[in-house]
Amino acid sequence: MIPNAVKQAWSEGRPTLNGWLGIGNPFTAEIMAAAGFDSLTIDLQHGFLDYSDAKAMLQAMRASGVTPIARAPWREPGIIMKLLDAGAYGIICPMVNTAEEAADLVAMVRYPPRGNRSFGPTRVSFSAGANYPAEANDQVMVLAMIETGEAFANVDAICATPGLDGIYIGPSDLTLGVTNGRLPAGVDRTEPEMIETIKAIQAAAKRAGIAAGLHCGTPAYAAQAVGWGFDMVTIAADSALLASGSRGAVTEARALLGSGAGAGSGDKPSGY
Query: Quick check: is 46 catalytic?
Result: yes
Q: Give CA–CA dist 165/191, Å, rounded.
A: 28
For residue 105, which amino acid is it? L
Q: Please tell me which residue in 14, 27, 46, 195 is annotated as part of the active site.
A: 46
Strand partners, 43: 71
Question: What single string gives the DSSP state of each residue in the chain?
Answer: ----HHHHHHHTT--EEEEEE-B--HHHHHHHHTTT-SEEEEETTTSB--HHHHHHHHHHHGGGTPEEEEE-SSS-HHHHHHHHHHT-SEEEES---SHHHHHHHHHHHS-TTS--PPP--TTHHHHS-TTHHHHHHHH-EEEEEE-SHHHHHTHHHHHT-TT--EEEE-HHHHHHHHTTTSS---SS---HHHHHHHHHHHHHHHHHT-EEEEE-SSHHHHHHHHHHT-SEEEEEEHHHHHHHHHHHHHHHHHHHHGGGS-TT--PPPTT-
205: left (phi over 0), alpha (psi -120 to 50) or beta: alpha
Which residues form the catalytic set? 46
